[in-house]
Structure 1
Amino acid sequence: MKDTLVKMTLSEQIYNILKNEIISGTIPLGSKVTNRELQERFLVSSTPIRDTINKLYQDGLVKGVTKTGAQVISFDYEYATEINEFIAAISSVALTMTVARGTDKEVTKNLKESLKKQAAASDDDAYFDADFHFHKSFFDFCGNQFLKETYKRYNLIRFLLIKSAIRTAEDRSCSIRQHGDIVNAYSAGQFSLASQLLEQHYIHGLALIKEYNP
């Protein structure tokens, strides 16, 4: 049996590298990325660099795109509030849709697995990956591809802000406890309560963002 190779264009490869570097903090928030520097770094022409920057712009990771480059987004509390409110709202819709579709058992399984991984995470990457998949569970089983894609796109921005806010062991423990409360309510069929707890969880996340990024 032959392995299936996934072929990516130059711009796709560069995009994945830069996106991961922004998420990890290797490229700091608020910093500038220039076409010339990227061309020299990756030894490519201007075309794949422009394509890459346009993709990052579509993700909301850069702004102020010009002929010479762009700027990585920086912290803006008002913008963070709007993103947080939006993600919280569509998460509630996704949760309700999983109940309507009868996929709550599958969601419960995923939530518990993600919660277990989050509690056992030994580093930031493992912790935030489990956190991402915990929230993504509702979208994976809501039965609406557009809702799922919307979450995937806009949650990336919120993820950057949350990652900068959750800094201490207590921050992590609190988030894990809140996730546990959501799982308990959802798995017990208390879906309205689970939705309320999910909303409160997002509100708490916004409070952390404000605390660490005044």
Structure 2
Amino acid sequence: MTIIKRFLSDQIYDELKMQIINQDIPFGSKIVNRTLQERFNVSSSPIRDAINRLFSDGLIESIDNTGALVVGFDADFYLEVNEILMGITNTGIQLSMQKSDIKEVVKTLKKYVALQKDNVGTVEYFKYDYEFHKTFIDFSNNSRLKKLYKQYNVLHEILLRCYYEKEIVDMQKGSIKTHEDMIKAFSENDIDKCIKLNEYHYKRAENLFKEMFKKTTKDS
């Protein structure tokens, strides 16, 4: 990897983050500072900066003088992340309806549903699912809520990618239908229905993940 001196910590952070997401750096493994310094041919400072950012993202569990421990994922961890995301997105729905132009929100939501339909069964689908729910967060005009959503969605996406199977295509198609129903409820100012549909979306993902995790554990 070519490192541009001006952006050392940014590039190292991006590289390590993608390696964790793609599981080139496994869950629960140790990242050693000295090894990273040799790999990237840099001093300890940009390595520390990158690791601190990963810690803020929730991808690092603990940091010591020699390096850092990558978070260890299991079914309980996923369920907790899923519950937090459901609460964050419910709040985004409420605030976006109160603070923003409903027509603009609906227009943006429809754009991402169309992109989801075009990418069913591909890794790109996750990006547009993220953007669909992020639309409510963006229109909530709450910067802290945006930060929370970004952090926890990274963890959520990693887990879904790790246990990605053919069965998830059916979940994606079902999610698109739920998203369309959410748009309709939101456009009609029916916030209670929109939130219930959002909760159904996350509960459905939770149930599917439980089945995938159970199968993966059994096979191993």
TM-score w.r.t. structure 1 length? 0.87
Contact 1:117/1:130 (8 A) holds in 2: yes
Moved more, 38-47 or 72-81: 72-81
Partner of 1:202: 202
CA-to-aligned-CA distance 1:30-83 (integer Å, 9 cap, x gap): 333221221122111122112211111111101132222222222232232222
Change (3 A) 1:15 1:102: closer
Amino acid paired to 1:11: S
Contact 2:120/2:173 (8 A) holds in 1: no
Partner of 1:18: 16
Contact 1:39/1:45 (8 A) holds in 2: yes
Aligned ranges 1:79-90 → 2 under 5 Å: 79-90=77-88
2:124 aligned residue (126, 138, 141): 126
Identity across aligned pairs (percent)? 39
- Structure 1 unmatched ranges of 5 or more: 1-6
Contact 2:171/2:205 (8 A) holds in 1: no
1:153 aligned residue (144, 147, 151): 151
- Structure 2 unmatched ranges of 5 or more: 215-220
Amino acid paired to 1:144: N
Tell me how far apart the structure 2 counterparts of residues 180 and 173 of structure 1 sit (CA, whole Å): 11
Tell me how far apart the structure 1 counterparts of residues 144 and 198 of structure 2 sit (CA, whole Å): 21
Post-superposition shift, 1:114?
0.8
CA-to-aligned-CA distance 1:71-102 (integer Å, 9 cap, x gap): 22222322322222121112111111111124
1:64 aligned residue (42, 62, 65): 62
Tell me how far apart the structure 2 counterparts of residues 82 and 69 of structure 1 sit (CA, whole Å): 26
Partner of 2:217: none
> Secondary structure of the equivalent of 1:142?
coil
CA-to-aligned-CA distance 1:131-167 (integer Å, 9 cap, x gap): 1101100011012112112211222212222333442
Number of aligned positions between the proteins: 208
Contact 1:53/1:70 (8 A) holds in 2: yes
Contact 1:166/1:172 (8 A) holds in 2: no
Partner of 1:50: 48
Compute the RMSD of aligned alpha carbons.
2.0
Tell me how far apart the structure 1 counterparts of residues 201 and 181 of structure 2 sit (CA, whole Å): 10
> Secondary structure of the equivalent of 1:25?
coil
Tell me how far apart the structure 2 counterparts of residues 126 and 8 of structure 1 sit (CA, whole Å): 30
Contact 1:106/1:141 (8 A) holds in 2: no
> Secondary structure of the equivalent of 1:64?
strand
Q: Structure 1 residue 30 and structure 2 residue 19: aligned? A: no
Q: Structure 1 residue 114 and structure 2 residue 80: aligned? A: no
Moved more, 195-204 or 47-56: 47-56
> Secondary structure of the equivalent of 1:189?
coil
> Secondary structure of the equivalent of 1:213?
helix
